[in-house]
Amino acid sequence: MKIEIKTIPSYLAAFINQKGSYEKIPETLGKLVGWLMSKNVQIQMPIYGIYYNSPLEVPEEELEWEVGASFMGELEAEGEIQIKTVTEHQVVSTIFKGPYGDAASAYMDLIEYAIKEGYQIAGTVMESYLNSPDEVEESELLTEVLIPIVKTD
């Protein structure tokens, strides 16, 4: 597995926060992407998910997560869809190949690498979905796993 430190430039994102089962992710992503397409803006980066807690820590109904996508253009929040500016930041990153549910297996390797390189974890895990289960077999899915970091002194 190739692990790297990289800088993510600032971007605008449309997103939806959710609480509950990860089984709601496909429907929520569909709603978000459909909304963005109806607004005639250009989606800039792969669709992402941010996971604020873990099924290992809380019951399924208490899982907190967000799905979103970067875009170019001007939009205002509407209903459950919110807009935010994400400032430039550094991440430790890798590409995971396989089922989405297995991508978490890369988290500890990323954390260990960041610490070894003199960084500390500075935020929650983000998964960026580089292809779609509508296009490829589950074993061929590509997920970029990113964890925000800051350099320690």
Q: What pLDDT, in 10s, does the model give residues 27-75?
A: 999 999 999 999 989 998 789 999 999 888 999 999 999 999 999 999 9
Assign 148 to helix, strand or coil: strand
133 CB-side CA count, 13 A: 10
Both tokens of 28, joined, read 């929520």
In angstroms, the CA 10 to CA 85 distance is 7
Query: What domains are there in the chain, each with its CATH number?
Result: 3-151 (3.20.80.10)
Bridging pattern class, strands 64-72 and 3-8: unpaired
Query: How far lies 109's CA from each of 5, 82, 112, 114, in Å?
Result: 13, 32, 5, 9
pLDDT in tens, 98-130: 998 899 899 999 999 999 999 999 999 999 999
